[in-house]
């Protein structure tokens, strides 16, 4: 059995990347032996269609389960159609995620958790020519809020998600600065 975990670095001790389509790496783990292989996600900078491309790539690798932070509708649909179970809301390290999965603490997701294009940002900055960036959540709440109370709840959920992303980015910055 193969389980793909989205991660910010190619290691079992890396933090789970909260994005699926534009995650930086996948760590593909055999839950029985904890042997793993890593895959750099070529769609990390993709302007559009990252979710579908990544979902195709993952399903082509014979993965049965995906553990990630969030998954958009296109990727979710593609993975479901390919018979890949999607588990979202996963955080901590890849190793933690695998332990949670093996202990039955993680539940399969019944629907996408973010809107399309989640993880796309406004760009890489002047002159880098690297296309859109990452991390921008949908412009509005998703799905559409029916009442102010629901919108507040959704926004609070989005806040939590963004805080996790920010922490992951800051940890990676510290890691990179530490290597200088």
Partner 1 sequence: MTREQELDFLKNEAQVVKEQLEDIEVRIKKLEAEE
Residue in the block written with tokens 């399969």: 108
Cβ at position 91, least distance to partner 1 in Å? 16
Binding window for partner 1 (CB under 8 A); candidates: 26-34, 54-62, 91-99, 150-158: 150-158
Binding residues for partner 1, how many (CB under 8 A)?
Answer: 31
The C-alpha atoms of residue 64 and residue 116 are separated, in whole angstroms, by 23
Q: Is 32 in the site for partner 1 (CB under 8 A)?
A: no
Q: Is 159 in the site for partner 1 (CB under 8 A)?
A: yes
Cβ at position 128, least distance to partner 1 in Å? 7
Q: Which of 35, 107, 122, 146 binds partner 1 (CB under 8 A)?
A: 122
Cβ at position 97, least distance to partner 1 in Å? 22
The C-alpha atoms of residue 34 and residue 100 are separated, in whole angstroms, by 13
Residue 37 backbone phi and psi in degrees, to 5: -125, 160
Chain-centre distance for alpha carbon 169: 13
Q: Is 82 in the site for partner 1 (CB under 8 A)?
A: no
Q: Is 162 in the site for partner 1 (CB under 8 A)?
A: yes
3 state DSSP class of 162:
helix
The C-alpha atoms of residue 11 and residue 40 are separated, in whole angstroms, by 11
Binding window for partner 1 (CB under 8 A); candidates: 56-64, 75-83, 85-93, 116-124: 116-124
Mode of pairing for the β-strands spanning 3-7 and 65-67: parallel
Look up residue 161 and give its two tokens.
């998600």
Q: How far is CA 116 from CA 136, 139, 141, in A?
A: 11, 10, 12
Report the interface residues with partner 1, using CB under 8 A. 121-122, 124-125, 128, 130, 133-137, 148-149, 151-152, 155-156, 158-159, 162-163, 165-166, 169-170, 172-173, 176-177, 179-180
């Amino acid at each position: 059995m193969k389980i793909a975990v989205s991660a910010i670095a190619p290691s079992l001790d890396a933090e789970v990347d909260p994005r699926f389509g534009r995650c930086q790496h996948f760590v593909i783990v055999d839950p029985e032996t904890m042997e793993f292989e890593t895959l750099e996600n070529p769609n990390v900078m993709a302007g559009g269609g990252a979710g579908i491309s990544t979902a195709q790539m993952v399903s082509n690798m014979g993965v049965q389960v995906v553990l990630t932070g969030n998954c958009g509708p296109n990727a979710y649909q593609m993975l479901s159609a390919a018979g890949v179970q999607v588990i979202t809301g996963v955080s901590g390290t890849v190793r933690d995620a695998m332990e949670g999965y093996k202990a039955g603490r993680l539940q399969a997701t019944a629907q996408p958790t973010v809107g399309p294009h989640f993880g796309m940002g406004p760009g890489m900055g002047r002159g880098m020519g690297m296309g859109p960036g990452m991390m921008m959540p949908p412009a509005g709440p998703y799905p559409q809020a029916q009442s102010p109370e629901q919108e507040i709840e959704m926004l609070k959920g989005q806040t939590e998600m963004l805080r996790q992303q920010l922490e992951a980015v800051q940890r990676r910055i510290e890691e990179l600065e530490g290597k200088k």
